Chain A
Amino acid sequence: MNEVVNETERLSRQTDEGAQELKASHELVVTGTVWPELEGDGETMIINMGPQHPSTHGVLRVMMELDGETVVRAKPVIGYLHTGMEKTGEQLTYVQGCTNVTRMDYASPIANEIVFSMAVEQLLDVEVPERSIWIRMMLAELSRMASHLLFQASNGMDIGAVSMMLYGWREREETLRVLEMITGLRMNHNFVRPGGVAADLPDGWQHAVLELCDKVEVGIGDYDTLLTGNPIWIERTVGVGVITTEQALALGVSGPILRSTGFAWDLRKAQPYLAYDKVDFDVIYTQNGDCFDRYRIRLTEIAESIKIVRQCVEMMPPGDYRVQDKKITPPPRERIDQSMEALIHHFKLFTEGFRVPAGETYVSVESPRGEVGCYIVSDGTGKPTRMHVRAPSFYNLQSMGPMMEDRLVADAVAVISSVDPILGEVDR
């Protein structure tokens, strides 16, 4: 791991004031050339990487101007997966909202569900029970593990370590299996809902989760052995795709990319939500801002997530898993057979949804890719007037251009991979 900056500087950067201090300068730190004036002088070649290309993670298209094998300019072109999810969100009730947001970042759906639910709860002004908070936190970390394992797999494959893909997928599959056991679905769980979570933890969850932690720990040890010290891996990633803190902040980049530049910004520490202030974990950050650092950060963050999950298992409080508010929470199944009111409540909740007081709010949490935020405007009806998700991949994608310029095509692939974009989230 790279050198750690001294503690005071670290802390100053972690606080809001520290961040403001850095943001204050108005110098131009990132520039881009005007596109699409693509008429070259014949020396260069325009090449479209994607939207169908093995290394563009779905349907990203990167337009690159090449001089030989050197990338002169690069521009990500997005929109190939645009399905109008934000607009759809306006047609869905708050109860249905989670099924929508969970499909945005399909690699770590729990973070999206949490941020949406938290935003709705803030508008509703309800306090969710302690147990549901801890369940959410545990799921968020399991989801982070799955997402970072996916990154390890795809990153390895993009740089040519094909076995890494299978190894990463192996551990990710184990993680998804545990998520399936708890939520009922491997992906797009729709488990975290406004007012709590959909169900209580199943029997034997402690054992399954702890067993998973042990497995993944062995797995990341393997990746470390296979890649970290490998000379070819080091040559391919160290010093490739460098971005500075100033550039990252100017572009609105967050998450592991920002942390790799030496700026220890993690919302779990910076503005603790859920119960992150009650568990012990470290914010992982490095100094060089290159592909290798981003790989190391994500690898180490898996270990930190395991640490948090273990604490969750240990400290999981007893109690209810959702708010006992008849206006928000549907009645239990047995009650529907016994009580007319319960049936009516149930019917109303799943057809009209619940009403949310007028107002607007913005809530953000740390997803595996960075700050994912949810902005909701409510007019007092059962559906949001406006629902916007600040998707970290969308902002992170902007950093691709500066990172790729004057590098080789092979580096461009490493850069795309290390940004770890999820196109569903970018296009929403």
Chain B
Amino acid sequence: MTAPQSLAAGDPLFAGGVDPAVVLILIIKTVAAFALLMVLVLFYIWFMRKVIADMQNRVGPARAGGRYGVLQTLADGIKLFFKEQSVPDGADPFVFRLAPYLSIIPAFLAFSIIPIGGEVSILGHTTYLQLADPAIGVLLLLAMSGIGLYGVMLAGWSSGSKYPLLGSVRASAQLLSYEAAFGLAIVAVLLHSGTLSTRGIVDAQAWTSWDSFATSWYWTVAFVSFVIFLIAAIAETNHPPFDLVEAEQELVGGFVTEYTGIRFAMFFLAEFMNLITMSAIAVTLFLGGPSGPALGFLSATGTVNTWLMPMFWFFTKLLVLLFGTVWVRASLPRMRYDQLMDLGWKWLIEIAFVAVMVTAVVLVARNEAWNRFVVVPAAIGGAFCLLGILRLCMPRQSELIEEEV
């Protein structure tokens, strides 16, 4: 990576210096990314409600916006916007008002690093179809989800009420724990790609032939990390079966219990934005982002193949992952708090850690041209030994109880 480590360092847009056209393009891209995320959220909430309704023998939204209720989410949003907002007596008013912003702003920022298309040219300038391509790349996502945690935590703490407090305690513990597994799952991809930049990661998974699906996309070579990433991402975004933070049956509304109106809507939006961002990141890291077969009978440099096809592939993959989250939501019971912690600390982190080491060994072996038929089984065998040793080191259930006393 070259000298200017700014947020948009990698983008060829800045190759020829900054002129008014560049600024205009940036503004257009920012507005477009914002609008896209909002539309995606509206779409996802409608999509989720419709699909779940179908799975549960219901009709789902069917009134606002025609017989399929496509505008239901918008109507809900408008309603929430005009509702009275209240701050409870026992609340810390400043923090109570601040928390929704702490939640929603990182959710917007994190989306800026997602490459949703390939290289295109606008107004004579070549640019990537992504808002920003910072050198720190994926780390920005981790940072933003870390800040988003403050929103949840402070919301519950500042409400001055018991259920939100319990909800926010759960949230802090859950998000912190899964951040670790989440980060480790990303590392395996970073080792393969050798860059943090999302654009670099996507380029490394470029589509060359139909084999690319299995050979250059990282979900095969880093399959263990892929699975861990998906689990941890759902836990990071508080979605079922890990939605303990707002477990309705236990904590009423969790950390949002005391929130009303647009502040509540902001938390709600942030949560779904995070889910969409996480799914988009999963597409970027493991499923090749916008890469996919182009339409061979059209010009490779035409509008269709540079603009539409990459976006088509990106959104198709995104939709598949989003459907997966809806499916999980409809079918699984909720986990218990301690079981969630067990899963995170005792399984996911270790397995992710060992997967990273195996990946590293395999990559070194490839670079050094060692015999991979020896190295790969040895690395995997070693990984299982390591896991076994870690298991043995863990305290037994009886010891845990003693500690508590």
**Residues of A bordering B, CB below 8 Å:** 45, 47, 53-55, 66, 68-69, 156-164, 166-167, 170, 226-227, 230, 232-233, 235-236, 408-413
* Chain A residues near B244 (CB-CB < 8 A): 410
Known contacts A166-B58, A236-B335; 17 additional CB pairs below 8 A are A45-B162, A55-B249, A69-B170, A157-B249, A160-B240, A160-B333, A161-B331, A161-B332, A162-B240, A163-B55, A167-B56, A226-B331, A227-B333, A232-B241, A235-B335, A409-B337, A410-B244
Asked whether A160 and B249 contact (CB < 8 A) given A230-B333, A235-B339, the answer is yes
Whether B360 sits at the interface, judged by CB under 8 Å, is: no
Q: List 13 A-B contacts (CB under 8 A).
A: A55-B249, A69-B166, A159-B333, A160-B240, A160-B333, A161-B332, A161-B334, A164-B333, A166-B58, A236-B333, A408-B336, A410-B337, A412-B250
Asked whether A156 and B337 contact (CB < 8 A) given A54-B248, A69-B166, A166-B56, the answer is no
Whether B309 sits at the interface, judged by CB under 8 Å, is: no
* Chain B residues near A408 (CB-CB < 8 A): 336-338
Top 5 nearest A-B pairs (CB, nearest first) are A160-B334, A166-B56, A55-B249, A161-B333, A160-B333
Whether B252 sits at the interface, judged by CB under 8 Å, is: yes
Asked whether A158 and B338 contact (CB < 8 A) given A69-B166, A170-B57, the answer is no
**CB within 8 Å of A: which B332-352 residues:** 332-339
* Chain A residues near B52 (CB-CB < 8 A): 162-163
Cβ-defined contact, B249 with A54, below 8 A: yes
* Chain A residues near B55 (CB-CB < 8 A): 163
* Chain A residues near B252 (CB-CB < 8 A): 53-54
Cβ-defined contact, A163 with B166, below 8 A: no
State in angstroms the CA–CA spacing of A45 and B164 once bound together.
Answer: 13
Nearest opposing residue in chain B for A227, CB measure:
B333
A156 contact from B57, B240, B333, B336, Cβ within 8 A: B333
* Chain B residues near A162 (CB-CB < 8 A): 52, 56, 240, 329-330
Nearest Cβ in chain A — how far from B235, in angstroms? 13
Whether B358 sits at the interface, judged by CB under 8 Å, is: no
Whether B247 sits at the interface, judged by CB under 8 Å, is: yes
Nearest Cβ in chain B — how far from A144, in angstroms? 23
Nearest opposing residue in chain A for B170, CB measure:
A69
* Chain B residues near A164 (CB-CB < 8 A): 333
Cβ-defined contact, A55 with B334, below 8 A: no
State in angstroms the CA–CA spacing of A200 and B330 once bound together.
Answer: 43
Asked whether A232 and B333 contact (CB < 8 A) given A45-B162, A163-B55, A170-B57, the answer is yes
Cβ-defined contact, B56 with A232, below 8 A: no
**Residues of B bordering A, CB below 8 Å:** 52, 55-58, 162-163, 166, 169-170, 240-241, 243-244, 247-252, 329-339
Nearest Cβ in chain B — how far from A175, in angstroms? 16
Q: Provide the main secondary structure of the chain A interface.
A: helix
* Chain A residues near B58 (CB-CB < 8 A): 166
Cβ-defined contact, B330 with A47, below 8 A: no
Q: Provide the main secondary structure of the chain B interface.
A: helix
State in angstroms the CA–CA spacing of A227 and B166 once bound together.
Answer: 28
Nearest Cβ in chain B — how far from A374, in angstroms? 34
Cβ-defined contact, A163 with B56, below 8 A: yes
* Chain B residues near A411 (CB-CB < 8 A): 336
Nearest Cβ in chain A — how far from B166, in angstroms? 7
Nearest opposing residue in chain B for A158, CB measure:
B249
Cβ-defined contact, B166 with A409, below 8 A: yes
Cβ-defined contact, B57 with A410, below 8 A: no
State in angstroms the CA–CA spacing of A124 and B243 once bound together.
Answer: 58
* Chain A residues near B240 (CB-CB < 8 A): 160, 162
State in angstroms the CA–CA spacing of A157 and B249 once bound together.
Answer: 8
* Chain A residues near B248 (CB-CB < 8 A): 54-55
State in angstroms the CA–CA spacing of A163 and B334 once bound together.
Answer: 12
State in angstroms the CA–CA spacing of A163 and B332 once bound together.
Answer: 9
Cβ-defined contact, B330 with A163, below 8 A: yes
* Chain A residues near B166 (CB-CB < 8 A): 47, 66, 69, 409
B333 contact from A54, A68, A233, Cβ within 8 A: A233
Cβ-defined contact, B247 with A410, below 8 A: yes
Cβ-defined contact, A47 with B162, below 8 A: yes
State in angstroms the CA–CA spacing of A413 and B166 once bound together.
Answer: 15
* Chain A residues near B334 (CB-CB < 8 A): 159-161, 232, 236, 410
Cβ-defined contact, A160 with B162, below 8 A: no
* Chain B residues near A166 (CB-CB < 8 A): 56-58
* Chain A residues near B57 (CB-CB < 8 A): 166-167, 170
Nearest Cβ in chain A — how far from B384, in angstroms? 22
Nearest Cβ in chain B — how far from A294, in angstroms? 15
Cβ-defined contact, B335 with A232, below 8 A: yes
Cβ-defined contact, B250 with A163, below 8 A: no
Nearest opposing residue in chain A for B248, CB measure:
A54
Nearest Cβ in chain A — how far from B325, in angstroms? 14
Nearest Cβ in chain A — how far from B395, in angstroms? 18
Asked whether A413 and B250 contact (CB < 8 A) given A69-B166, A170-B57, A235-B339, the answer is yes
* Chain A residues near B169 (CB-CB < 8 A): 68-69
* Chain B residues near A409 (CB-CB < 8 A): 166, 250-251, 337
* Chain A residues near B162 (CB-CB < 8 A): 45, 47
B250 contact from A45, A55, A227, A233, Cβ within 8 A: A55
Cβ-defined contact, B241 with A160, below 8 A: yes
* Chain A residues near B56 (CB-CB < 8 A): 162-163, 166-167
* Chain B residues near A412 (CB-CB < 8 A): 250
State in angstroms the CA–CA spacing of A345 and B251 once bound together.
Answer: 58
* Chain B residues near A156 (CB-CB < 8 A): 333
Q: Which of A69, A164, A230, A233 has the most CB of B within 10 A?
A: A69
